[in-house]
Amino acid sequence: MGIISGLLFFLLIAFYSLRNSRRVKSQDEYLLAGRHTKLLPLVATLVMTEFNTGTLISFSSLGYLAGYWALAMPFIFLIGLLFYTLTVAKKWKQFDGVSVAHFFALRYGQKLELLVAVVLFLAMLGFSAAYIKSLTLLMLPLIPIAAPLLSAGLVSIVLFLTLRGGLSSIIALDLLSFIFVLVFFPLLVYFSFKLPQLNAMPDYNLVQMQLLLPPKFIISLTILTMFSYIIAPWYGQKIVAAKTPQTAYLAAAIAAVIIFLLYGLGIFATAILRQKGVHLADIQLGLPYLIHNALPHELQGVAYVVLFFVAASTLAGVWNAMVTLIVGSIFKSDRPKLNSNLLWVLLCAIGAYVIANTLIDNILNKMILFNIPIVAFAFALLAGFYWKRANSLGAYVSIVVGIAWGVFCYLYIGEKGNYTWYWAVYGIPLIFVSGVIGSLILTAWQDRNPIQI
């Protein structure tokens, strides 16, 4: 019964997604859904873009590790995405470009645009590899075959459902998946409570839980999320697809709250699992265990389908955003072709698949690491929007300082030394101070050496 219900559920969502893919006729529709997305579908696609299996498994594993204290983790996204809403949501829609990197060309020159586009592309390749790895971990209990073979099959299905339709089919998929996710996660928590009590697990007090999940770690990730998401191409692309700047602003704010609640439910469920005395060989397997053991058999197939489409919508969205960087900034063309977009998406998927099966082990740690170059662009972006005196020297200096500091913290302090704290608390001010100083130096030099016309 569980297999039949899951199959029917899958076919329903797949049919809906494929039906919408037939409407795409141009590159603008493929990459930006015609730039007329209304509030509800925009909220849905923003939520499903960020609510991904990589972060879900990582955060949920902390619920099993540190208990209810891990419920502080969703505040990372609540604060980070509300910061996005207040600072750049309307700005990106007003910019209205194909590639977020193109903003840097308009503000600082084409060389910086190319640098930003290449760095963001490589970071997103790493993110999508982590998402493939997390999806594979989720599906292994259901399909116990070799991980590379399983991930190849999963990636192929995602491509089949979204390759032809681009962002239009992704938004259609997101809207339907969004509705099911809102129903599924409260049910998951409910059935977690219904699990029988097994072994007695030691009760941690707050101090012990904070030793396992340090407050400094949570604070640092909050800061890093605030200053990385403002330039996230997979988010900026969806914002540009909005009908108006006000639609973009409202959708970003609403999505922040819903994402906060959904991650909280996932963590709550695995914290309950720990309280029930269930011992796991790997803390990242908490959600798969709940699906396989807590849910009624009739709902297990549906649960796997829901989580598959959570991952599918994120993967498709990230690959689509990577293509905006390629065609909008890296390999620009005066004659955009729809077929070339399809080829680029396919190549992005293949690259992510290879990395997922060779380099990704601890999902959360790798996802944090991939943010180092993205955070380094924070000054260049915000100053580009809000400070007229910002210039190319300030942008370059801040980027070099940001990347150098992030790499130094990772290599010298490391994960065991809680490098994210030093990276965030000292790195963000360094990025902005160096950017301001660089901008002022170039401005002073230009004032002393005016260009003669």
Per the model's pLDDT, the better-predicted residue between 340 and 452 turns out to be 340
Residue 58 has pLDDT above 70, yes or no: yes
User: What confidence tier does 8 reach under pLDDT thresholds 50, 70, 90?
Assistant: confident
User: Distance between CA 287 and CA 295 in Å, rounded?
Assistant: 11
Per residue in 240-287, pLDDT tens? Answer: 888 899 999 999 999 999 999 999 999 999 999 988 888 888 888 888
> Do residues 392 and 113 lie in contact, with contact meaning Cβ atoms separated by under 8 Å?
no
CB atoms within 10 A of CB 261: 14
Check residue 453 and give its pLDDT: 45
CB atoms within 10 A of CB 118: 16
The DSSP call for residue 414 is: T
User: Distance between CA 3 and CA 301 in Å, rounded?
Assistant: 5
> Do residues 94 and 249 lie in contact, with contact meaning Cβ atoms separated by under 8 Å?
no
What rounded mean pLDDT belongs to the chain? 86
Per residue in 77-125, pLDDT tens? Answer: 999 999 999 999 999 989 877 778 888 988 998 889 899 999 999 998 9
Q: Which amino acid is at 341?
A: N
> Do residues 390 and 403 lie in contact, with contact meaning Cβ atoms separated by under 8 Å?
no
Q: What are phi and psi of 301, to 5 degrees?
A: -60, -40
- 3-state SS, 65-88, equals HHHHHHHHCCHHHHHHHHHHHHHC
Q: Which amino acid is at 25?
A: K
Percent of the chain whose predicted confidence (pLDDT) is above 90: 42
Per the model's pLDDT, the better-predicted residue between 160 and 332 turns out to be 160
Say which residues have a Cβ less than 8 Å from residue 365's Cβ, sequence separation at least 6: 415
Q: Quick one: which of 80, 60, 10, 48 has its CA closest to 294?
A: 60
> Do residues 312 and 173 lie in contact, with contact meaning Cβ atoms separated by under 8 Å?
yes
> Do residues 360 and 130 lie in contact, with contact meaning Cβ atoms separated by under 8 Å?
yes
User: Distance between CA 192 and CA 265 in Å, rounded?
Assistant: 11
Q: What is the DSSP string of 92-142?
A: HHHH--S-TTHHHHHHH-HHHHHHHHHHHHHHHHHHHHHHHHHHHHHHTTT
Average pLDDT estimate for 161-172: 73
The full set of domains in the chain, from first to last, is 2-361 (1.20.1730.10), 376-453 (no CATH)
Q: Which amino acid is at 348?
A: C
- Six-digit token pair at 147? 């991980």
